[in-house]
């Protein structure tokens, strides 16, 4: 069995990353129409990922096995209103592992890269949003030490 390689994402990963991101987004889209995707989403996603990979304010890390991307994390430095002592934080926009590779510690290792990114940028907080009905993800993030600070609410009109 081959080893899992953890590394920064590269431009050559864009197609694979887009497929994984679509899988993650389709999970959410299937649950609530709030997450409904645009048809042209894949090309927009690729463009966004390409910009993110090139940015020093973004972290894009992947787990690769047998030259296949099996998981990724995307995080960026986010600015909060200037009324706060800690004006910047790391925001995890997405973390995804292919189903057959879950519960093997892969996401834990990707999260360590996010923590390292936060420390390198002298940031004290990491924030993320998780779908309220995704109990598996909520349990995972709580095990990493995340606490619920705010509830994100949506109303359809």
Q: Which domain holds residue 56?
A: 5-143
Q: Beta 58-65 vs 5-8: how paired, if at all?
A: antiparallel
Please check whether residue 149 lies inside any domain of the structure. no
Domains identified in the chain, total number:
1
What would the pLDDT profile of 63-113 be if each residue is shown by its tens digit? 999 999 999 999 999 999 899 999 999 999 999 999 999 999 999 999 999
What is the pLDDT at residue 78?
A: 95
What is the domain-level CATH number for residue 79? 3.40.630.30
What is the pLDDT at residue 18?
A: 84
Please check whether residue 152 lies inside any domain of the structure. no
Please check whether residue 74 lies inside any domain of the structure. yes
3-state secondary structure 13-38: HHHHHHHHHHHHHHHHHCCCHHHCCC
What is the pLDDT at residue 41?
A: 65
CA distance 98 to 148: 25
pLDDT at residue 10 greater than cutoff 70? yes
Please check whether residue 88 lies inside any domain of the structure. yes
Please check whether residue 69 lies inside any domain of the structure. yes
Please check whether residue 126 lies inside any domain of the structure. yes
pTM: 0.88
């Amino acid at each position: 069995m081959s080893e899992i390689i953890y590394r920064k994402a590269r431009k050559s990963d864009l197609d694979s990353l887009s497929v994984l991101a679509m899988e993650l987004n389709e999970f959410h889209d299937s649950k609530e129409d709030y997450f409904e995707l645009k048809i042209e989403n894949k090309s927009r996603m690729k463009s966004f990922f390409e910009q993110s990979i090139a940015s020093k304010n973004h972290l894009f890390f992947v787990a690769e096995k047998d030259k296949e991307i099996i998981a990724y994390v995307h995080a960026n430095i986010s600015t909060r209103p200037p009324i706060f002592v800690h004006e910047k934080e790391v925001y995890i926009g997405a973390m995804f592992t292919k189903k057959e590779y879950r519960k093997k510690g892969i996401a834990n290792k990707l999260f360590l890269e996010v923590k390292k990114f936060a420390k390198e940028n002298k940031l004290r907080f990491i924030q993320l949003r998780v779908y309220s009905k995704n109990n598996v993800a909520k349990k995972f993030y709580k095990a990493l030490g995340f606490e619920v600070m705010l509830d994100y609410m949506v109303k359809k009109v």
